[in-house]
Amino acid sequence: MAGIEARFNLAQGDFSLDVSLGLPGRGVTVFFGQSGSGKTTLLRCFAGLERADGHLVVDGESWQDGARFLPVHRRPIAYVFQEPSLFPHLSVRGNLEYGFKRLAAKERKVGLDEAVQWLGIGPLLGRGPDRLSGGERQRVAIARALLTSPRLLLMDEPLSALDHRSKAEILPYLEKLHDSLAIPLLYVTHSPDEVAHLADHLVVMAAGRALASGPLTETLARLDLPIPMGEDTGVVLEARVAERDRKWHLARAEFPGGSLWVRDIGIAVGGAIRVRVLARDVSLSLEHHEGTSILNLLQARVEAMADEGHPAARLVRVRIGETPLVARLTARSAHNLALEPGKPIWVQIKSVAVIE
């Protein structure tokens, strides 16, 4: 599948952007980093709102190179901002139809009913924007963007202006876009929680540079990135439900190299599940321990170790088959276990510590 090739160089006063990226042609790519890292500037370069030097090729078509620069109005994109700019004089249906009706029928890749269903806004169609909650307005804005049938969908921190309840309301709808969209979605955030829920591909930004770019699990497992994740340090695993233990309300989530018992949230056997394993909830042992409350005991091999901001703490990356995990432990424990790359180890993970 053709993807995205981008090279941007831009100087703005004391800030400079210098990135070179190859991104997948489908799924959610998240630009993650702290404020001022260049995430939004990078997104604006993709949109053509910033005129950077370099090139941009989307699905084999050049939008920008040394000889041409497609202005924003000629790029087949849709852009969702932090604040949804709905037309106040139109109903929800009117807002959705505004761009949709301006497309010829043969150019429509997303149907009105389809977008309404994806975003769960059927009951809202007759309302005006002033009668919507913040989360509802943003869901309408996303549906409206999809109905322009873009080849590239851009979202700039669309949840940052929402309260916790509204974020929790809209996240499940954004998660559906993983499987529903046949186009790439570029998503800017500084929230580790949004990364865990939404990203397929992760680009880590700092000081106008892309420090890392790659599949979510492998990128989160890197120990060399100077982006402090704190209590959110860990990995996200794409898994399948292999078994359900109805008596104890547990499900076994299988991933390449192993499986984890997690809380049963009703996904049928064979269904996809995304689990988040935090480094603080992973412990290491030289032996397989019987008679423990911990259900998940997996054989692994140490891959790498790194300091974590304080001389007492260490991060350890281990690999279970094809899958990396990260554990946080004290430097004393790492010394007592004589940990080093290549050493076999047992990984212990509490089921209740796995976030679906």
36-61 mean pLDDT: 96
Q: Please tell me the predicted confidence (pLDDT) of residue 74.
A: 95
Please tell me the distance from the alpha carbon of residue 349 to that of residue 275, in angstroms, as a whole number.
12
263-290 mean pLDDT: 94
Give, rounded to a whole angstrom, the gap between the first and last alpha carbons of the chain.
29
Among candidate residues 232, 235, 266, 238, the one with its CA nearest the CA of residue 253: 238
Confidence of residue 231 (pLDDT cuts 50, 70, 90): confident
Q: Please tell me the predicted confidence (pLDDT) of residue 66.
A: 86
**Residue 356 reports pLDDT greater than 70:** no
Q: Please tell me the predicted confidence (pLDDT) of residue 255.
A: 96
Give the sheet arrangement for strand 201-206, strand by strand. 77-80, 152-156, 184-189, 27-32, 201-206, 209-215
Q: Please tell me the predicted confidence (pLDDT) of residue 108.
A: 86
Q: Which domains does the chain have, with CATH numbers?
A: 4-225 (3.40.50.300), 234-355 (2.40.50.100)
Which token pair is 191? 């929230």
Please tell me the distance from the alpha carbon of residue 215 to that of residue 204, in angstroms, as a whole number.
11
- pLDDT tens digits for range 190-212: 999 999 999 999 999 999 999 99
Say what the pTM is.
0.93
Residue 149 CA: distances (Å) to CA of 22, 109, 248, 273: 23, 5, 45, 28
Most confident of 99-103, 267-271, 308-312: 267-271
Main-chain phi, psi angles of 75, to 5 degrees: -90, 130
Return the SS3 of 288. coil
**Residue 1 reports pLDDT greater than 60:** no
Q: Please tell me the predicted confidence (pLDDT) of residue 276.
A: 94
**Residue 224 reports pLDDT greater than 60:** yes
DSSP state, residue 26 = S
Please tell me the distance from the alpha carbon of residue 256 to that of residue 279, in angstroms, as a whole number.
19
Q: What is the DSSP string of 132-182?
A: S-HHHHHHHHHHHHHTT--SEEEEESTTTTS-HHHHHHHHHHHHHHHHH-S
